[in-house]
Amino acid sequence: MNVFKSYTNKSVPVLLVLLCALRVAGASAESGLSVSPAVAVRYSTEAGRYYQLQTRVGGKWENVGFAVRGTGEVVDGLYPSGEYRVVPRSKGWVMVWADEFDGDGLDFTKWEKEENNYGGGNNERQAYRTDPKYCFVKEGLLHLAVYRDPHTTCDGKTQPYSSARIRTQKRGEWTYGRFEVRAKMPAGQGIWPAVWMLPTESPYGGWAASGEIDILESRGSAIHETTGAIHFGGAWPGNTYLAHSYTFPGKNAAEAFHLYALEWGPDKIEWFVDGKLCQTRTADEWVSAAAPDNPRAPFDQPFHLIVNVAVDGRFFGKTGQRADLLPPDAFPQILAVDYIRVYKWAE
């Protein structure tokens, strides 16, 4: 093991150590064993400050992985041989989590598939199932597909449609941040795609006392618009909500991919579509029945992401939309997601 390079970038000392390639004991030249040198990167951190590891590629510095929040301890790791630097970040958003859906399947280190046949409390008519048919990654996109596939559970509960719901609970959860979703909606009436957030724990009580944040929701044949909302107050039925809608000035939600974003801070939550601010909610607009003296409750706890496609239910109210009116060849109805990214604000 030999010292390879050590230098300082913007006051962050970075020690790079070249690890020599070693033959595994007992391995022969005919074994096909392939080894490469690696670099050990070590740097000190300040608690609460964000750092971004970068490597030089073709004369330019490119980010390696996500930004790291310092704890005051030394950070180290092994990387392919090359030139590296660590840049402290401040006064801006830094990426701390993402799924670009570029692999061959769903990344189960980030997502869990849910199974539920009971309509989500909204009289929905889908069964959430774990079969790859209903949730898969292909050609750089996450696909959540709705089929007119009836499904009956062992207790005799039957739903006429099958779909998928995935979540990051216990795999990814955040208090505050910027959440970006680039997606294309399905266009069938009665089809209800959503990307939203729930608290990982429920310190203020059951739904919706501990809050819910809806980044985006779409109503089938009402694809000229998108909606967002927050739910709060007491536990059902003592809960309430604030909702808004945004009308697309050009191609609708099913004709093109759009960028949906939510910026959530201690005292304010904002929704954006294609970079345009479309709604702001402030802490004086929400309340917690369990913590009336805490103006930030219930939106001051870790929340996780959920992506799903429901069918019918109370969300459609008196719209007259109903999936049963769709012809057989309208299925599958597909929500396509290009990426989901999470950022934190670096002070």
Residues recognised as catalytic = 212, 217
Classify strands 303-311 and 161-163 as parallel, antiparallel or unpaired. Answer: unpaired
Q: Residue 47 has which token pair?
A: 């608690």
HSE at residue 99, side-chain half, CA atoms within 13 A, is 24
CB atoms within 10 A of CB 20: 9
Euclidean distance between CA atoms 11 and 209, whole angstroms: 45
What is the distance in angstroms between the CA of the first residue and the CA of the last residue of the chain? 38
- Tell me the three-class secondary structure of the chain, residue by residue: CEEEEEEEECCEEEEEEEECCCCCCCCCHHHCCCCCCEEEEEECCCCCCEEEEEEEECCEEEECCCCEECCCCCEEEEEECCCEEEEEECCEEEEEEEECCCCCCCCCCCCEECCECCHHHCCCCEEECCCCCCEEEECCEEEEEEECCCEECCCCCEECEEECEEECCCCCEECCEEEEEEEECCCCCCEEEEEEEEECCCCCCCCCCCCEEEEEECCCCCCCEEEEEEEEECCCCCEEEEEEEEECCCCCCCCCCEEEEEEECCCEEEEEECCEEEEEEEHHHCCECCCCCCCCCCCCCCEEEEEEEEECCHHHCCCCCCHHHCCHHHCCEEEEEEEEEEEEEEC
Residue type, position 218, single letter: S
Displacement of CA 39 from its chain's centroid (Å) = 31
